[in-house]
Amino acid sequence: MEQVDGRTIVSASDLVAHLACSYVTTLDAEAASGLRPRPAGDDPELEVLRRRGFEHEAAYLAELGEAGLDVVEIPDDHGGPAAGRVEALRRAEARTVAAMEAAADVVYQATFLDERGAVLWRGHADFLRRVPGPTALGAYGYEPVDTKLARHVRPSAVLQLCHYAEQVERLQGAPPDRVHVVLGGHDEESVRLAEVAAYYRAARARFLSALGEHAPGYPVPVEHCAVCPWLPVCEERWEADDHLCRVAGLGREQVRKLTAAGIATLGALAGSPPGLRVRGMTDATVGRLQVQARLQHRRRPGEPPPVELIRGVEPGRGLSALPPPDPGDVFYDIEGDPFVGDAGIEYLHGVGWLDGGSFTFRAFWGHTPAEERRAFEGLIDLLVERRRRFPGMHVYHYANYEPHALGKLMGRYGTREAELDDLLRGQVFVDLYRVVRQGLVVGSASYSLKKLEPLYMPARAEAITDAASSIVEYERWLQTGDRRILADIEAYNRTDVESTRLLRDWLEARRADLVRSGETVDRPEIRAVEPSPAPSSDEADGDPDELVARLLDGRVDPPGADAPAGERARWLMAQLLAWHQREAKPEWWRYFDRVLQC
C-alpha cells in the first residue's frame, strides 16, 4: 500500500493481509500516509521464502520456454520514485495489453492498474496463459497462473488470482473460466472462477470499507503474525497494555469472554480471586489460566520462570507419562528444510545417549533423496538394535514433529515399515512437550524448548539458536558449500538433543518432588506388543524389504518416462508390494494418536 499524488494504491497482497488481520490495514495505511515508519523488513527467513519463490517461478518460466511457447515478458520499470509510479504502471499495463492483442502464448509478469475507483488497484500476475474462447481480443482469451511454494492451494492464493482475473476481464471483455496455481511440487491446480468470485467480491468490499472508515481497531494474535513485518509493533503494544493475549495457552475467544467478565489484562487475571466464574468457560479452564497468569506476572527479568506442579495426577498424563529411566534411553531431534525439492528434506537426525556417564552424540546427515533414505534407515536400525539390547529404552523428543517426520519418510521411501511400526506400537517415543503441558504450569508466555531451558541449563552460546535460523543457515550452505555452516548446524542440533536429555532429568526431579509430597504418580503401563507378523509364503518370496531392494537396485527417485520399460516396471512392482498397508498407516497413526492423547 502506498500513496502517490494523494491517491491510495493497493494490491491483492493488501487484501489478503487484511483478511488475515484487519489491523495490518491500519498500520499499512498509517505508513503510506507518513504517520509511522515502515518496518525494516530484514527477516532472513522471509528472504529465503522470497528467493525460493523466485526460483520456483523461474523454473516454471523455463518449462514454458522449453515447451516452445511464445512468452512475452513485461519489464519491471515501475519501482522508481513515487512521483512517476502511476505513469510507469500505466505503461506496463499498456505493454500487457499489447502482448494480449498480439496473441502471445504466455504473458510473463503481466501488470495491471485499475483506476476506476477512488482507490487504485495494481496487480502483477506471474503469468497469463492463452486459452481458446471468444473475448474482445478474438477467438481466444487469457487465464491467470501463479506459482506458489505451497504443496496445497491456499485461499490467499485463490483470492490473489481472483483479483488478476478481474483485471483480465477488464482488459479482454470477458471473465476467465478458471484460475491456476503451480504448486511447489510443480503440480498444477485449477479453480473455476464462478465458484469463488462471489466471496472475492465480498472480501474486496470489506477491505475497501475498512480503508474508508479509518477505524484504528486493535491488534489480536493470528496465524498471520508469524510472517508479518509489523509483529514487533504489535508485541510492543501488547506489552504496554498488559494484554490478555500474553497469557500462554489463552485463545482469542477466551480473551473475549474474560474481557466481558471484567478481566481485561494479564495482571487483572493474575490478581483475580479463586473461584472466579466466567460465562462460557469451565471452572477448571479458568483456574488453569489464573495460575498461568499469576506465574507469568510473578516472573522477573533475567530470572528463570516460576513453576507450579499440577496435583491430582491422572494415570498416563503429565508427569505420570514419564517411563522409568533406562540405561538405553535415547534423545532425538530433527533438522529439516521445507524448501528443498518437491517435499522438503529431513537433512539431519541427531541422537544422543548416556554411555558410562558421558554423553554420546551421533548425527545422520542426508542432503539428497538417496542420502535422506540412508540416514532414515541408519537411524531406525540404531534404535532397533538399541532396543534389542535395552528392552526398556525409550526415545525422548519435544513436540510431535519427530514421529510425524519418521512416518513421512517411511511412507516416502517404503522402507523400515515393520521396524517403525513396532517402535510406535511399543510406545517407545515419549513426547516431553505433552508431559510439560499436562504436568506443570510455567511462568512463560511460550512453552517452546528454548523458553524452558533457563530452568535446567545455562544460556546457549552457539552461532545458531533456533529452528528458523537453522533453515536460513542450511539454505546458505546450499548456496555457498561452506562446511563450517554444517558444523554450526550440527552443534545446534546436539545442543537441542542435550537439552531434551536435561529436560527429561529435570522432569524426573519434579516427579520425585511430587512423590515426596505424598502424591501418587504412577508410571505408564508397559504394554506387551507382538512384533509385526512376517509375510506368509504366498505374500512374498522371502523378506519384502530384500525383494524391494532387489527390484529397485539402489534407485530412490522414480524413473523418467524415457527410462527402459523393464526399469519402470520394476519400480512399479516395488511400490505395489506393500501399497495397501502403507496407504492405511497414516489413518491408523492418527487414530492411535487421538486415543493416546485422551
- What is the DSSP-derived secondary structure letter of residue 151? S
Q: Which amino acid is at 209?
A: S
Cell of 158: 485463490
Specify the pLDDT at position 540: 45
Distance CA 322, CA 319 (A): 6
Query: For residue 10, which of 105, 147, 124, 156 has the smallest C-alpha distance?
Result: 124
CB 578 within 8 A of CB 414: yes
Q: For 34, which DSSP code? A: T
Cα 407 from Cα 420, distance rounded (Å): 8
Please tell me the predicted confidence (pLDDT) of residue 535.
47
pLDDT on residue 203 = 94
Neighbours of 283 (CB within 10 A): 11
Q: Report long-range pairs for 193-197 (Cβ below 8 Å, ≥24 apart).
A: 193/162, 193/165, 196/158, 196/159, 196/162, 197/162, 197/165
265 DSSP assignment:
B
Instruction: Name the pTM for this structure.
Output: 0.85
C-alpha cell belonging to residue 22: 484487519
Q: Which of 171, 161, 173, 172 is nearest to 197 (CA)?
A: 161
**CB of 137 closer than 8 Å to CB of 172:** yes
Burial (CB < 10 A; 0-12, 13-18, 19+), residue 345, is buried
The pLDDT value recorded for residue 537 is 45
328-369, pLDDT tens digit by residue? Answer: 999 999 999 998 887 899 999 999 999 888 999 999 999 999
Cell of 449: 524448548
Q: In the chain, which residues have pLDDT < 50?
A: 535-540, 598
Q: What is the DSSP string of 207-246?
A: HHHHHHHT--------GGGGG-TTHHHHHHHHHHHTBGGG
Mode of pairing for the β-strands spanning 7-11 and 2-4: antiparallel
Spatial separation of the C-alpha atoms in residues 306 and 300, rounded to whole Å: 9
3-state secondary structure string, 423-452? Answer: HHHCCCEEEHHHHHHHHEEECCCCCCHHHH
